[in-house]
Structure 1
Amino acid sequence: MKFSPYKICFLNLTLLLLLVSGANAQPAAPLQVFTSVLPLKYFVERVGGQRVAVQVMVGPGRSPATYEPKPKQMAALSRARLYYRVGVPFESVWMKRIANLNPAMTIVDLRQGLELRPLEHHHHDAEEDHREVVLKNYKKVEEMDPHLWTNPNLVKQMAERIQATLTVADPAGAADYQAGAEAFIRDLDELDRTIRQQLLKVKERRFLVFHPSWGYFAEAYNLQQIAVEASGKEPGPRALAGIIEQAKANNISVMFVQQQFSRTTAATIARAINGRVVAIDPLAEDYLANMRRTADAFARSLDNSL
């Protein structure tokens, strides 16, 4: 069976249009993206969907305070298009080197435009070295709390920034990024309503935590965080005794910890207040489910139920 030249030309044009349409629907290869911590990885994947391939620097169980990038990660960073940071401690040491490794990579600071809060500090012991205190005071401007993602309303603003920056890097995916961000923000609104309802009528508004990771969460839901550790340093004996007295005075019976830090001091405090240790993790990747688990743990504990 013979086709006329016109029919052959029409079929070729149709095939070409189909190929172009498919190329517009999905990029030839996903955008290579890095994030500093797992919650940010989840955020970028929610907004970017299949158009992004996201790797994370600080993996499960690792601490951003002590983390050092691996050679394989540094090699992968040299091929990345975007890096999303949030000011966790290892970045202050490594960010310049990461930027120099791949000058073409866009570094997006998700703190930009958000109101930051300082990290809580325990009271220093009188015997603490004076030079160390002076050094801490000098660095105070750098010691802002990076755990913004513990407030779902701040995450909504992060999602909008992620959408905007992905769209600049991949304009063909603009509609996909908008749809991803809108769906994610709807989930965040629902999460915020759920947590707010859970914590609305709890008896006690103060909670004791080993590492000061939940300040933005506390601020969002009218709670008060009392932190044991600050700037990577545990309290001395006198400060520790003061924390225990403060916990007793406020009828606090739960010591919250996260898996990235030692539980030895936390267990000592829990015994002293006749309480218990409860693990919560601000660095978990399954953000929505983890925040619901955390809110549930706070709700039970702040009702003074052992």
Structure 2
Amino acid sequence: MKSTPALLLASTILLSSPAWAEAPNVVVSIKPIHSLVASIMQGVGEPSLIVEGGASPHTYNMKPSNAAALQAAKVVFWVGPGLEAFLDKPLDALSGGAKVVELSEAPGLEKLKFREGGAFEPHDDGDEDHHGAEAGHDGHDDHAGEAEASDEGGHDHHHGESEFDMHMWLDPMNAKAMAAEIEKTLAEVDPANAAAYKANLDKLKQRIDTLDKSLAETVAPVSDKPFVVFHDAYQYFEHRYKVRVAGSITVSPEVLPGAERISEIHAKIADLGATCVFAEPQFEPKLISVVIEGTPAKSGTLDPEAATLESGPDLYFQLMENIGASLKSCLASAD
């Protein structure tokens, strides 16, 4: 059978066209970080996700399939042992040459000290910056809410539990810093696709800047209304957008509050005039109805770890937009 000129031409084009380099095997711990990695890898490959569906990194148990994925990984992205404690030992046990990147150590992050005991002190209305991290706005000890810019990269997950609040992605500027570290890592591990990673990073940064502006506009009308959250995961969002979290039901999602704590929270909701109390989809919703009973507070839902969202490049934006919209909807309805 003779080759036609068209077939010869097509064969020549295929042979002469540069083939996409095979993407590295990338594994990511949680949905918000996976979304950023997936955005950087668009058009090149898809990262694997460990904590899928509605599971929480605070209570997650490793599966055999997760262990197998880690052993086959070229790169592993996680926030750090202060959030995904379940990953600390498995990462130590990796036998391959995987590059492990702890994104809580990414250069340029603004890191806020972890708050202990729940934020239950009323704000000082005379303090113009009582929402800012440096102001220690919730009455904790002097180091609470203190901002620190990280200027060192690298990975060392042997330092134990972090002194910093690990929900760092809830400030879009931190998401940009994490994205830059993700792009840098992928370009080093996979230089053949470095140009694609860089182009995707540029697009992602522009999209995050647009998101940041939109969120500021969304929550501005309700930023002075106090509210209570299920667990203390939102201070990065507070610090960025100057919203007013009056307290948390439990700082640690692993430990549910007892009757005395619930009674204290109930009283504080009334004292502080909290407009809304927000549940989270991963945890016990009955607590919310218990603590708001007999108060004028309304209930809502926030999802800081994207338990209800489908993983992928758009998830981070849906997560942040949903938080802004939920705050505005509940707080505005309480007028």
TM-score by length of 1: 0.82
Question: By how many angstroms is 1:115 displaced?
Answer: 3.0
Equivalent residue in structure 1 for 2:115, among 120, 140, 149: 120
Q: CA deviation at 1:245?
A: 2.5
1:6 maps to what in 2? none
Match of 2:290 among 268, 271, 274: 268
Encode CA deviations 1:44-93: one digit per residue, 9 max, x unaligned.
Answer: 11111132321111111111111111101211211111111102656334
Does residue 50 in structure 1 map to residue 71 in structure 2? no
CA distance in 2, matches of 1:245, 1:20: 73
User: 1:257, 1:266 within 8 Å by CA — same for their partners in 2?
Assistant: yes
Change (3 A) 1:95 1:144: same
Aligned with residue 319 of structure 2, among 272, 290, 295: 290
Match of 2:23 in 1: 30
Q: Name the structure where helix makes up a greater proportion of residues.
A: 1
Could you tell me how far 1:265 is from its partner in structure 2?
A: 1.6
Give 1:136's aligned residue. Answer: none
Whole-Å Cα distance in 2 between the matches of residues 102 and 190 of structure 1?
A: 42
Q: Is the 8 A contact 1:74 1:98 kept in 2?
A: no
1:193 aligns with 2:188: no
Which of these residues, 89, 98, 114, is aligned with residue 96 of structure 1?
A: 89
- Residue 248 (structure 2) pairs with residue 227 (structure 1): yes
CA RMSD in angstroms, aligned pairs only:
2.8
Bigger Rg, which one: 1
User: Match of 2:226?
Assistant: 206
Choose from 241, 248, 266 the match for 1:244: 266
C-alpha spacing 1:123/1:254, structure 2 compared with 1 (3 Å): closer
For 1:55, give the aligned amino acid: S
Is this contact kept in 2: 1:167–1:173, CA < 8 A?
Answer: yes
User: How far apart, in 2, do the equivalents of 1:282 and 1:203 lie?
Assistant: 18
Question: What is the CA–CA distance in structure 2 between the aligned matches of 1:290 and 1:184, rounded to whole Å?
Answer: 15
Which stretches in structure 1 are left out of the alignment for 5+ residues? 1-10, 125-138
Deviation of 1:263 (Å): 1.3
Asked if the contact 1:68/1:90 (under 8 Å) is kept, the reply is no
How far residue 249 of structure 1 moved from its aligned partner, in angstroms, is 2.5
Quick check: 1:202–1:303 contact (8 Å CA) kept in 2?
A: yes
2:277 is aligned to 255
User: Once the 2 structures are TM-superposed, how far is the Cα of residue 195 of structure 1 from its aligned partner?
Assistant: 0.7
Residue deviations 1:204-256 (CA, integer Å, cap 9, x gap): 34321012221111111112332111232233333333322322233223211
- Taking a change above 3 Å as real, the CA distance of residues 140 and 179 of structure 1, as seen in their structure-2 partners, is closer
Q: CA–CA distance in 1 between the matches of 2:116 and 2:220? A: 27
Segments of 5+ residues of structure 2 without an aligned counterpart are 1-7, 120-158
What secondary structure does 1:61 align onto?
coil
- For residues 110 and 173 of structure 2, what CA distance do their matches in structure 1 show? 12
Residues 33 and 150 of structure 1: CA distance in aligned 2, closer, same or farther (over 3 Å): same
Superposed CA deviations along residues 186-208 of structure 1, whole A, max 9, x for unmatched, are 11000100111122232634321
| Alignment partners' CA distance in 2, 1:62 and 1:141 | 21
Structure 1 pair 158/203, CA: closer, same or farther in 2 (3 Å)? Answer: closer
Distance 1:280 1:41 in 2: 19
- Does the CA-based 8 Å contact 1:122-1:230 persist in structure 2? yes
* 1:266 maps to amino acid: I
Letter aligned with residue 290 of structure 1? L
Q: How many Å separate the matches in 2 of 1:215 and 1:159?
A: 20
Secondary structure of the residue that 1:58 maps to in structure 2?
coil
- Per-residue deviation, 1:31: 1.7
Identity over aligned residues, as a percent? 26
Distance 1:301 1:250, change over 3 A: farther
Does the C-alpha gap of structure 1 residues 33 and 272 become closer, same or farther in structure 2, counting only changes over 3 Å? Answer: farther
Q: Secondary structure at the match of 2:55?
A: coil
Task: Tell me if structure 2 keeps the 8 A contact 1:31–1:81.
Answer: yes
Whether 1:147 aligns to 2:167 is yes
